[in-house]
Amino acid sequence: MLDFFRPDQGNAKNDILSGLTVALALVPEAVAFAFVAGVSPQIGLYSAFFLCLITAVLGGRPGMISGATGAMAVVVVSLVAQHGIEYMFPAVILCGVIQVVVGYARLGMLIRMVPHPVMLGFVNGLAIVILLAQFGSFKTVNDLGQLVFLTGPSLGVMVALVLLTMAIIWLLPKLTRAVPASLVAILTVTLISLGLNSIASPESAGLNQKRLVMTVGDMLLTNAKVKAVSEVHNSSTNVIGTAVRAHSGHGDAVSAEPVSKELATSAMAAVDESAGSIGGGLPRPFFLEYFLPPLSFATLWIILPYSVILAAVGLIESLMTLTLIDEMTETRGRGNRECIGQGVANVVCGFFGGMGGCAMIGQSLINVNSGGRGRLSGVTAAVCLLAFVLFLAPWIEMVPMAALVGVMFMVVIGTFEWASLRMLRKVPTSDFLVMVLVAGYTVIQHDLATAVVLGVIVSALSFAWQHATHIGVDIKLNEFGSKIYQLHGPLFFASVSSLKEMFDVANDPDDVVIDFYYTRVYDQSGLEAINSLAERYEKAGKRLHLTHLSPECRQLLGRAGDLVDVNLSEDPQYHLATDRLG
């Protein structure tokens, strides 16, 4: 990873300024994820406020930023579409309760089981996902209500401002670290864009873009127009489908043509200018704004699967982000406390009509890069975000998307583990493939949590496969004529087959010893293999003894009880002093 993140100590000034920078970057992300979830932009912003504030105070990783995320949004959208938005809020509350239970059960330590190749794949896949997501900001809406890439002067200006933002972030720290470079870049580019938009003619921006430089307000209005046209298209599709099915007498699938230019223009014209605003009032409990779902087992049965998935996705992403920030800042967060903080935040978020969320990796990296190390940075970001919604919406809507895209591009450069590109011949092939698998799945599916779980499973299977061949045996005869099998390596499910092939029951003498001094029994498969050998020797009329079993192995055998019937022996005649390590 590039030396982009400084392991220095934070202070109040850095925390406040970095918090302001993060708040600016939170706005478009929270709004975009709200559209993904099928809810209003204000719900995404309120969610970001509660999550950012509460996790900053109660969470286990100072400097880490939480808010509404895409991983949670793609789960919520299905619940909202099938059952209505009123079911989303209790689902988020239940998700928070589950996360609190996980934290108090101290299950956050399971993140330590994530192998380093999985972490590398997670980081690289994340960087690519952040990079690809930024290209959506290079789009505007056409006459048919479709998103298309910018062209002409708008594209040129957008690219130039993005490059200017990146240049400021790269060069300013070489001159001074008194203020966060990201904040200076955003303010500078915002002033330039205000000047360009004031002198540029509307025609230079295109038919549906009023300004030469696209701003946060333009992005909101563009999304609202696309959504309006999509609703018209879905409505016409349903009408046509109903008519066709009624005429044909069967439920064949019906595909409607794209909305005509006239309908699209009408739908976009009907979108109120306020759709391009993030302004709103104070958040209120959800039951004051929406219908309260029935308090019954039927409701619980509907929301429980979604809540479990939300809790798992949120904790995996949050704990992985915590580990990443730990590495960058050379400090250590508290995983179990983070689980509790995330849970409490989601409970409060759901109660006040939020969509839930978890740690936001991109914004956390912006915070760290800007000097935010303490809890004050997260608190500042949350307070500033609420102030934007309540008082400063018109000003924040003037921030150009180019500035935010430039900041995220620099996050991508600092996040990607560039050294991993040279690891193919320097690390085991299986580890390199796991890294590629996790990164590839993350990019293709945009599902970081599943990618991590998949990587852990593949790493575990690879480990088991490799160690299955590590079991061996030294065969000797002692002065009493007993044949001694001295095992080496782990005995578990993957090595059982190799173990059974090592014994020659038919030709062994009447007294046989298995020496476990250099091996360990790890699971029931190993116990069953021992029992199977004992039965084979018993049927052959021979005696089998087990010696030098570790206390853990003896405990396993003791718990097995009647399931395993073997002869444990500590007879001195089976002791091979010359073979011991001391």
Q: What is the CATH number of the domain that holds 550?
A: 3.30.750.24
Task: Give tens-digit pLDDT for 418-449.
Answer: 888 888 778 888 889 999 999 999 888 877 77
Residue among 211, 220, 205 nearest 153 (CA): 205
Q: Which residues of 159-172 are buried (b: 16+ CB within 10 A; e: fewer)?
A: eebbebbbebbeeb
Q: Judge if 408 and 474 occupy the same domain.
A: no
Q: Judge if 407 and 473 occupy the same domain.
A: no
Task: Give tens-digit pLDDT for 45-83.
Answer: 999 999 999 999 999 999 999 998 887 887 888 888 888
Confidence (pLDDT) at 253: 47
Dihedral in degrees, nearest 10, Cα atoms 577, 580, 581, 582: -40
Average of per-residue pLDDT across 158-182:
90
Q: Judge if 129 and 251 occupy the same domain.
A: yes
Which residue is associated with the tokens 């549906």?
Answer: 208
- 75: in domain: yes
Q: Judge if 155 and 295 occupy the same domain.
A: yes
Task: Give tens-digit pLDDT for 469-528.
Answer: 778 889 988 887 889 999 988 888 888 888 888 888 888 998 888 888 888 888 878 888
**260, amino acid identity:** S
Q: Judge if 105 and 246 occupy the same domain.
A: yes
Round to whole Å and give the CA distance between 487 and 513.
11
Q: 3-state SS of 333-380?
A: CCHHHHHHHHHHHHHHHHHCCCCCCEECHHHHHHHHHCCCCCHHHHHH
- 321: in domain: yes
Domain that holds residue 515: 469-579
Confidence (pLDDT) at 517: 84
Asked whether residue 88 carries a pLDDT value surpassing 90, the answer given is yes
- 425: in domain: no
Report DSSP state, residue 14: H
Asked whether residue 252 carries a pLDDT value surpassing 60, the answer given is no
Which residue is associated with the tokens 């192995």?
Answer: 553
Least confident range from 200-214, 459-473, 502-516: namely: 200-214
Residue among 373, 459, 362 nearest 415 (CA): 362
Asked whether residue 271 carries a pLDDT value surpassing 80, the answer given is no
Residue among 414, 367, 355, 418 nearest 130 (CA): 414
Round to whole Å and give the CA distance between 317 and 70.
11
Under 8 Å between Cβ of 447 and 126: no
Task: Give tens-digit pLDDT for 216-249.
Answer: 888 888 888 887 887 777 776 655 555 545 555 5
Under 8 Å between Cβ of 525 and 493: yes
Token couple for 531: 């029992």
Distances (CA, A) of 416 to 181, 233, 475: 20, 40, 51
Asked whether residue 184 carries a pLDDT value surpassing 80, the answer given is yes
Q: Name the average pLDDT for the chain.
A: 83
Q: Judge if 351 and 258 occupy the same domain.
A: yes
Q: Judge if 385 and 478 occupy the same domain.
A: no
Under 8 Å between Cβ of 358 and 96: no
For the beta carbon of residue 104, count every other beta carbon within 10 angstroms. Answer: 13
Asked whether residue 256 carries a pLDDT value surpassing 70, the answer given is no
Q: Judge if 477 and 390 occupy the same domain.
A: no
How many domains are contained in the chain? Answer: 2
- 3 state SS of 520: strand
Q: Judge if 68 and 159 occupy the same domain.
A: yes
